[in-house]
Amino acid sequence: MYRAVIAVIDASRARFFTFDREAGGGGIEERMVEHTDLVNLARRMRPSELFSETRPPSNKRGTIDDHRSDNLDNMDAAFARTALSALRQLIDEHAPRRAIVCAAPRMLGALRAAATNLIPDDLEVDMLARDLVKLSPTELRSLLAAHGLLPGGAALHAAR
């Protein structure tokens, strides 16, 4: 049996799957199960809802620095840590051969920064810099196979 855990993550959402493939009497059978769907509510808010509209005084060059991008980076880093904790829990529960992490490029950087000592060293980990969080399990499976991250296609049984 081949088993992988899959995480698809962006700044506002993280979804976690297990993918199992085994050969049986009826041929090759695959099952993809979504286990967790985390939402980062702060990143789903509009900037006007998230930040105060009062501005600090401008600096000598006339530009305003209210540290919004720093705050967003901190929110992304916190969500990356939360997502990696959920991924580690799934790894511990299902003992996969491989972990596949798909994330928007900016979030992938936050995940790499937060991954220290969270992912077992003996686990094969592949990273794909693509935002795939909105794909269905079938679409996700097809795209990962096209990138060579999952074995070739068979009859997929998706479950939630």
* pLDDT per residue as tens digits for the range 95-105: 999 999 999 89
User: Per CATH, is 2-47+68-159 categorized as 3.30.420.60?
Assistant: yes
d(CA 29, CA 22): 6
Confidence of residue 42 (pLDDT cuts 50, 70, 90): low
**pLDDT at position 49, please?**
46
% of the chain surpassing 70 pLDDT: 76
Report CA torsion sign: 107, 109, 113, 116: positive
* Position 74 pLDDT exceeds 80: no
List the structure tokens of 128: 């794909």
**pLDDT at position 15, please?**
97
- pLDDT one-digit tens code per residue, 96-131: 999 999 998 988 988 888 877 777 878 899 999 999
With contact defined as beta carbons under 8 Å apart, do 12 and 43 qualify? yes
DSSP state of 67: -
Indicate the SS3 state at residue 56.
Answer: coil
What distances in angstroms separate CA 146 from CA 76, 97, 142, 150, 151, one per listed residue?
Answer: 29, 19, 6, 8, 9
- pLDDT one-digit tens code per residue, 1-15: 899 999 999 988 999
53 or 5, which is more confident: 5
Report CA torsion sign: 2, 8, 126, 80: negative
| Domain positions in the chain | 2-47+68-159
